[in-house]
Structure 1
């Protein structure tokens, strides 16, 4: 009975998300198109299953971020307030669901007892508020980034950045996936065999660059474009080093936590046993480190490279967000 009730709740929320997307599109009359382009029944089933089968929520989180990013561009204050209120209510309802994103905290009570005050700094009023967050796997960095962006009412970019890069390259999304540039980063590994026809095709498509290099350089251009034109929060993608090299003001943050705490967090969120979680974390940390250091020449996670390094296990998700807000000197509720 309880499972049936939960599924009804998922379906109701899926309908609200679909309707919100449609209403945002109607108010904007945007040429960019809607987040959900399929028919209603199929989309509702997909969203419901997403909530039911993917409790870590990273896919749903990106869909919601796209809708809220569009809603924040609405010029009419009354319409913007109305739709953002509905968005907030949907988000609160989702947070009440079991095992949804942000619901599995990472607070280590013993370490939290040792916290000290965090420094406060101001950001120039002439610059856009651009936050770059790098994180170790399992430190709840994505949950923190998403909720922080939402509280600050700024756009959140993660997977959608890569999707825009793919459109620029006119490449098939299935051919070069986001994970290929991180979990399967192969700059130092053995080259896969490619036919001469494939090599010539890619030589033309990517102007003589490898797919990974072409994606990175196009992504770099896009990140700079975003930072120059809007307030936003960018997860990973070497954004801190890219903006630093292009002399674009930003706040860089590195989020991590002790390995044993991250292991437990991954076990809780991904339903892995300890052996699986340890193997997963080591692989992901290694790939992130390789990718970052190859393209930036900087050491990944080195404290000197960031404005703030924070141990999320000392604070938990909510308090980590508050610490970062104090750094930004923001009074957003």
Structure 2
């Protein structure tokens, strides 16, 4: 395995579980919440702060400020004055690049496909799912979500948050098929088979690169 796999996902689609299974089948590491610890270690920020601002949306004006600052580095005066949420984005942005330089892995969410747009050994995947299945998965995961309506509200809120974050920080559209190499409906295949499908796709991707 030579490829880095990024996974975008709708809330409740099983994207994290699929990412973990793909990593296990390929014998590589999967980074989801683990990315928070890595970004904290490399940036000097505390994990609680990074988790609080993890995948939070911004606006287009602040996006331009963040990326301009990124080009000058963390020691610039602009970075010192920057809101915490944007410092967190830059910390995760760098952590993702550093992980990719260490070798093949699976990275879930956090605009990883955008962060790695200059890397040629990347397959970008998006996981969607049928609403009924996503609601059932959310209710099974969260004990305090006691009705379908509550699960649906949570799902819509999380997806709106992820969409805003992705659309502002990347040049693509969250969930749009043109933004990814592969889009899978986990309801059609199930978690295990979805993971197998991704692994097979990556193998074929690597074969095509070798000619």
> For the superposition of Structure 1 and Structure 2, which TM-score range results when normalised by the shorter chain?
0.7 to 0.9
Q: 1:135 to 1:168 in 2, by over 3 A?
A: same
**1:85-124 superposed matches below 5 A:** none
Residues 224, 248 of structure 1: 8 Å contact kept: no
The CA distance in 2 between the partners of 1:169 and 1:326, in whole Å, is: 36
1:170 aligns with 2:44: yes
Greater RCO, 1 or 2 (C-alpha within 8 Å, sep 6+)? 2
SS state at 2:25 partner: helix
Looking at structure 2, the residues matched to 276 and 235 of structure 1 have their Cα atoms a distance apart, in angstroms, of 25
Matching residue of 1:285: 159
1:151 is displaced (CA, Å) by 1.2
Which residue does 1:145 correspond to in 2?
19
Residue equivalent to 2:87 = 214
Q: Would you say the 8 A contact 2:36–2:47 is kept in 1?
A: no
Residue deviations 1:166-203 (CA, integer Å, cap 9, x gap)? 223322333x1424233xx2535xxxxxxxxxxxxxx9
The alpha carbon displacement at 1:275 in A equals 1.6
Offset of 1:206 from its aligned partner? 4.4
Measure how far apart 1:260 and its partner are.
2.5
Confirm or deny: 8 A CA contact 1:169 1:205 kept in the other structure. no
Q: Tell me the equivalent position of 2:68.
A: none
The CA distance in 2 between the partners of 1:160 and 1:167, in whole Å, is: 11
Q: Is the 8 A contact 2:57 2:168 kept in 1?
A: no
The correspondence for 2:140, drawn from 268, 272, 288, is 268
CA contact (8 A) 1:169 1:206 kept: no
Q: How does 1:1-333 map to 2 (within 5 A)?
A: 128-174=2-48, 176-182=49-55, 185=56, 187-188=58-59, 206-244=79-117, 246-271=118-143, 272=145, 273-329=147-203
Runs of 4 or more off by more than 3 Å in structure 1? 203-206
> How large is the RMSD of aligned CA atoms in angstroms?
2.1
* TM superposition shift of 1:204: 7.0
Report the more deviating stretch, 248-257 or 213-222: 213-222
Describe the SS at the equivalent of 1:310.
strand
Give TM-score scaled by structure 2 length.
0.80
| TM-score normalised to structure 1 length | 0.52
Hey, what's the Cα distance between the residues in 1 that align with 2:199 and 2:57? 37
Structure with greater strand percent: 2
Q: 1:180 to 1:262 in 2, by over 3 A?
A: same
Structure 1, gaps ≥5 residues long: 1-124, 189-202
Distance 2:57 2:116 in 1: 24
Deviation of residue 237 (structure 1)? 1.1
Greater Rg by CA: 1
SS at the partner of 2:38?
A: helix
